[in-house]
Structure 1
Amino acid sequence: MKHYIGIAGTHAKGSTNTKLIHFIKNHLADRAEVEIIDASNWPVFQKTPNGKLPEGVQAVADKIAAADGVIISTPEYDHTIPAALMNTFAWLSYGIHPFDNKPVMITGASFGALGTSRAQGHLRRMLDAPEIHAQTMASSDFMVSRSLNAFDEEGNLKDPALVKRFDELFAEFEVFVDLMAKLAQVNQVAEADAAKVGEAE
C-alpha cells in the first residue's frame, strides 16, 4: 500500500478543502495511506539567519521526501492559491527540496460554479519551479464546485459521478507514481554508471 502526504491549502475552520482532503484520506483507506500534515503554526515566510527552519518544517519535509506522492487540496482566492499554501511551499523550498521529482495530485474545492481551475493552474506552475521541481500529470485536475453543498454530514461527497471521477483520476495518478519511481531508478543507475566511467578515466 502506497503512502501519500495530504495537504489542505487553507487553515480556515470549516474549510471545504479540509473536508475534501479528509474525504480523500477516508475514501482511499483500503487502497492507500494518506497522512495529512498540519502547517497552520508555521510563521509567515522570511529569510532566517543561517537558513534556519521553523520548528516542524524539517519533519514535514522528511515525510514528503519519504512518501510515494503528495495530494493537495487548494481553494481559489482571487484567481490563485491562498497565502497559507504559498507560505507552506516557501518554507518547504527554503534550502530544502523534499518535492524534487515527487508526484503530486492537485485537487480543490470552491463555493462557486467554476471550481478552482485558475488556482490549480497557478499551483501547477509553482510546483514546476526549480526550487520545488515536483511532477504533475497533465489534464488531471479534480475540482469540487459549489462545495458548501457537496458533502454530507459524514464528510462524504454526495455526487456519485464526482466520486467516480476522483477514482478514475487517482487510478491514473497511481500509474504515474509507479512510472516516476521507475524513472528515478533508471536515473540512479545512469548516474552510477557515469560515475564509474569518470573514475576509470
Structure 2
Amino acid sequence: MKIAVIVGSTRKDSYNMHVSKYMKERYTDKMDMNILNIADLPLYNQDTENTPTDAVVNFKAEVKSADAVLWVTPEHNATIPAALKNAIDWLSRVDKVMIGKPSWIIGASMGNLGSVKAQAHLRDILFAPGLASPVLPGNEVYIGAVHTKLDENGQLTDEGTVQYLDTVVSNVTNWIKGLNTEQ
C-alpha cells in the first residue's frame, strides 16, 4: 500500500516530520510511506495553474499514484500552516488528484491538545468539492506535549502513543484495503 505523506511543517527540526519518519520506519511491513516535500512548491496562483513548475507536477504525480494520503499537521494560530494550505490548493486545481482518494490525519504539537483545531479545519477542507477526500472517522491522532514524547533521535518513546498509533494504522490500512476492493 502506497501512502503519500504530507507534513504541514517546513521547519528543519519539525516534530511532525520526526513523527512521520518514525512512522515510516515502524510501519514498513504495512505500507510504503513516501514523505513529500512541500517546501519547494511555489505559492499557488491561478495564473500559472495550467503551466506549473516541475515541483508542482512531481508533487501532484506522487499524490495521484498513492493509495491514500497521510496529512501530518502542526497547528499555527489555531489552524493549518500556510505551507500546507498552499499544497492543498495545488492539489485541488486542474486535474484534482485528491478526489475520492482516502485521507487520514495526525498531528503533534507542544501544547496539550496536539493540533486538534488544525485537524478539524483540515478535515473540513478535505471535504471541499475540489478535494472530496474521504476520511475515516474515529481514528484521530492528537499527539500533545510531543517534545516530551520524542527522544534525541526523533523516536517516539511514549508507549501509550505508540500503541494508539499501532491501532490507528491497523484501522486505516484495513479501511483503505476495503475501499480498494469495492472499486
TM over 0.5: yes
Deviation for aligned residue 1:135: 1.1
Instruction: Please name the residue that 1:107 is paired with.
Output: 106
Question: How does the TM-score come out when normalised to structure 1?
Answer: 0.87
Q: Distance in 1 between matches of 2:181 and 2:125?
A: 24
Instruction: Please name the residue that 2:11 is paired with.
Output: 12
Question: How does the TM-score come out when normalised to structure 2?
Answer: 0.95
Aligned residues: 183
What runs of 5+ residues in structure 2 fail to find an aligned partner? none
**Secondary structure at 2:54 match in 1:** coil
Asked if 1 retains the 8 angstrom alpha-carbon contact of 2:2 and 2:67, the reply is yes
Q: Distance in 2 between matches of 1:70 and 1:49?
A: 25
Asked if 2 retains the 8 angstrom alpha-carbon contact of 1:103 and 1:176, the reply is no
Asked if 1 retains the 8 angstrom alpha-carbon contact of 2:49 and 2:93, the reply is no
| CA distances 1:100-138 after superposition (whole Å, capped 9, x unpaired) | 111111000111011111110100011111101111011
Larger RCO: 1 or 2 (CA < 8 Å, sep 6+): 2
Q: Distance in 1 between matches of 2:179 and 2:70?
A: 15
Q: Distance in 1 between matches of 2:156 and 2:101?
A: 27
Q: Distance in 1 between matches of 2:49 and 2:3?
A: 31
Asked if residue 146 in structure 1 is aligned to residue 145 in structure 2, the reply is yes
What runs of 5+ residues in structure 1 fail to find an aligned partner? 186-201
**Secondary structure at 2:89 match in 1:** helix
| CA distances 1:144-193 after superposition (whole Å, capped 9, x unpaired) | 1111222112221111111010010111101110122133x2xxxxxxxx
Give, as a single letter, the amino acid of the residue that structure 2 aligns with 1:118: K
Deviation for aligned residue 1:50: 6.7
Deviation for aligned residue 1:79: 1.1
Asked if residue 45 in structure 1 is aligned to residue 34 in structure 2, the reply is no
